């Protein structure tokens, strides 16, 4: 069946919809192998989901491949997933202090926690876009 990836969970699994509007579950192994990010259209081999989950998610994918051809004009496309940089910029510029004209400093760890993004990915983004961010050296008390 043809499915469209709608959401990637924090755990790395994904949820899609088929042409009938039913929800399809894809495990992390499939998501990682196909490097899915959301919005992709796949040709999937699906089976009925486990009985205790079937009422909310009727299908689970056991094999899938990305379709090379573009979908027809009648197929609705998912809104593109914002990049890590877009998510960070939106988060950092949306606080009350920022709107009042005050600067707010945040660590990569704080942003990682707030946006549920891996801290290494946040730091990698900051390292690649140093011109748009001020780097500060900070210290904190070390409890023994």
Domain housing 113: 84-131
Same domain, residue pair 41 and 92: no
- pLDDT bin (cut points 50, 70, 90) of residue 24 is very high
Asked whether residue 120 is assigned to any structural domain, the reply reads yes
Q: At 120, is the secondary structure helix, strand, or coil?
A: helix
Residue 74 half-sphere exposure toward CB, CA atoms < 13 A: 1
Global pTM reads: 0.48
Statement to judge: residues 21 and 61 lie in one domain: yes
Do 62 and 89 lie in a common domain? no
| Residue for token pair 């023994």 | 144
**pLDDT at position 115, please?**
87
CB 36 within 8 A of CB 44: no
Give the mean pLDDT of 26-52.
92
pLDDT at 74: 57
Query: Which tens digits make up the pLDDT trace of 95-136?
Result: 654 444 445 778 888 888 888 888 888 888 888 887 887 777
């Amino acid at each position: 069946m043809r499915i469209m990836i709608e959401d990637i969970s924090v755990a790395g699994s994904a949820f899609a919809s088929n042409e009938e509007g039913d929800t399809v579950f894809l495990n992390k192994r499939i998501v990682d192998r196909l490097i899915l990010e959301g919005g992709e259209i796949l040709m999937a081999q699906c089976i009925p989901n486990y009985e205790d989950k079937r009422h909310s998610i009727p299908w689970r994918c056991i094999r899938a491949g990305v379709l090379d051809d573009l979908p027809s004009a009648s197929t609705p496309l998912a809104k593109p997933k914002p990049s890590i940089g877009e998510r960070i910029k939106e988060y950092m510029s949306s606080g009350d202090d920022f709107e009042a004209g005050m600067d707010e400093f945040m660590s990569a760890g704080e942003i990682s926690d707030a946006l549920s993004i891996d801290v290494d990915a946040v730091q990698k983004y900051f390292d690649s876009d140093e011109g748009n961010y001020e780097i500060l050296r900070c210290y904190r008390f070390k409890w023994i």
